[in-house]
Amino acid sequence: MKTVINIKADRDVKEKAVKTAKRIGLPLSAVVNAFLKQFIDQQSITFAVPLKPTEWLRRIILEADKDSREGKNIAGPFHSVKDVMKSLRS
């Protein structure tokens, strides 16, 4: 027997979820049902790490890449803990 669940969701989240489900050929209700069944079975919720880095992280990665190409702010390689400690203290 089917039943109805009323939930509140941000409008843009709902619209994007409907589009995403439709793109992979599923109604949103199938996605929600699958999630609820997984929640029941595992008795836990898993949150995925975003595949796209934040703007802040993207800038840091680009800066590190540039430094690497220019040979700046490079440390190592180290062959012992003593070498690492010496580098950190300098």
- Cα 68 from Cα 16, distance rounded (Å): 38
Q: 81: alpha, beta or left, given left = phi > 0 and alpha = psi -120 to 50?
A: alpha
CB 60 within 8 A of CB 54: no
* pLDDT interval class at 76 (50, 70, 90): confident
Tokens of 29: 């209700």
> Could you read off the pLDDT of 11-70 as tens digits, one per residue?
999 999 999 999 999 999 999 999 999 999 999 998 887 778 889 999 999 999 999 999
Dist CA 3 CA 81 (whole Å): 62
Q: What is the DSSP string of 3-20?
A: --------HHHHHHHHHH
pLDDT greater than 90 at residue 6: yes
pLDDT score for 55: 92
How high is the pLDDT of residue 48? 81
Model pTM above 0.85: no
Q: What is the mean pLDDT of residues 68-73?
A: 89
